[in-house]
Amino acid sequence: MLDSLPSFARLVAELAKFPGIGNKTATRLAFFLLRQPKAQAEALAAAIHDLQNNTRFCSVCFHITEQDPCQICCDPGRDDALLCVVEEPQALLAIERSRSFKGRYHVLHGALSPLDGIGPAELGLDQLAERLNTEPPAEMIIATNPTVEGEATAFYLQRMAAKHG
């Protein structure tokens, strides 16, 4: 049925790539977008375009940012003595929402998973080691996820922190 509607089918195929979205939901979303005023659909397209063009990783902590270094790295009110290592930017945002931490961050964008070919180099642990060398924090808080990979990463980070005193 979608063969005669290539533009519609293309949007459904793109939406179905989202995590947790199957073909059925993708079709429902495509119909929703079709019924929206044109300006609304174009605003969504522009937001996706801007996200890709304006957002990058902070060169210091690797959090997502529109300015480099990011706001957190530039904030003089943050405590340099505390460094919190997280797997994903979402974890950083959750900690920020809790307002319980006033130190700096380092975002790994994953966890060690040798079977998937994700080793220390892929996680940018060299950059983290470099940070520990140049501006060693008094305390490193390891906030990786409670998964096998997260635990392995935490263990690796502990040894790394011990090596840097």
Q: Applying CB under 5 A, which residues contact Zn ion?
A: 58, 60-61, 63, 69-70, 73
Residues comprising the chain, all counted: 165
State in angstroms the smallest separation of the CB of 48 from Zn ion. Answer: 24
Specify the residue, 41 or 56, whose C-beta has the smaller distance to Zn ion: 56
Do the Cβ atoms of 61 and 107 come closer than 8 Å?
yes
Residue 23: count other Cβ atoms within 10 Å of its Cβ: 12
State in angstroms the smallest separation of the CB of 145 from Zn ion. Answer: 20
Specify the residue, 63 or 131, whose C-beta has the smaller distance to Zn ion: 63
Specify the residue, 8 or 57, whose C-beta has the smaller distance to Zn ion: 57
What's the CA gap between 44 and 151, in Å, rounded? 38
Specify the residue, 61 or 157, whose C-beta has the smaller distance to Zn ion: 61
Residue spans of beta strands (DSSP E) within the chain: 56-57, 64-65, 79-86, 103-107, 139-143
State in angstroms the smallest separation of the CB of 51 from Zn ion. Answer: 18
Distance in Å from the first CA to the final CA of the chain: 65
Q: Which residues contact 13 (CB under 8 A, 6 or more apart)?
A: 26
State in angstroms the smallest separation of the CB of 78 from Zn ion. Answer: 10
Nearest to 57 by CA among 2, 7, 127, 149: 127
State in angstroms the smallest separation of the CB of 49 from Zn ion. Answer: 24
Specify the residue, 89 or 150, whose C-beta has the smaller distance to Zn ion: 89
